[in-house]
Structure 1
Amino acid sequence: MTTTVECPTCKAPVTWDESFPDRPFCSPRCRLIDLGAWASEEHVIPGDELEQDVFSEDGPGR
């Protein structure tokens, strides 16, 4: 049985097997576009805001 999914970036059909090593993306280009969207915070995982920046000098333990 072959499973086909849509590329999250361009919606092209992607066969979920070894012929598409970039799955679930259809190509390295679509994979990089998605990575760029995460890096620029276009994609985010919902959650509570941090009260304090854990990387600041005033963070925990300081």
Structure 2
Amino acid sequence: MTVVNCPTCSAKVEWTEKNKFRPFCSERCKQIDLGAWAEEKYTIPAANPIDDALDDDSAA
């Protein structure tokens, strides 16, 4: 059986079909994570494609 850490509270969680909240340990931790996404607390770093396109155009 696979055991993972809850992304919110780090509690050990069994990765089984009977755990309907996986990878979270509970509905509460699942909702906390959803709230963090809604408040834009998570970001994905990326290069600015507009700046990259401008640099490519000026080189031509």
TM bin, normalised by shorter chain, reads 0.7 to 0.9
Identical aligned residues as a percent: 54
- 1:55 is matched with none
Counterpart check, 1:38 vs 2:54: no
- TM-score, normalized by length of structure 1? 0.70
Give the structure with the higher percent helix.
2
> Paired residue for 1:21?
20
What is the RMSD of the two structures over their aligned residues, measured on CA atoms?
1.4
Query: Would the alpha carbon gap of residues 15 and 38 (structure 1) be closer, same or farther in structure 2, given more than 3 Å must change?
Result: same
Equivalenced residues, count: 50
Please identify runs of 4+ aligned residues in structure 1 that moved more than 2 A.
48-51
Unmatched 5+ residue regions in structure 2? 51-60
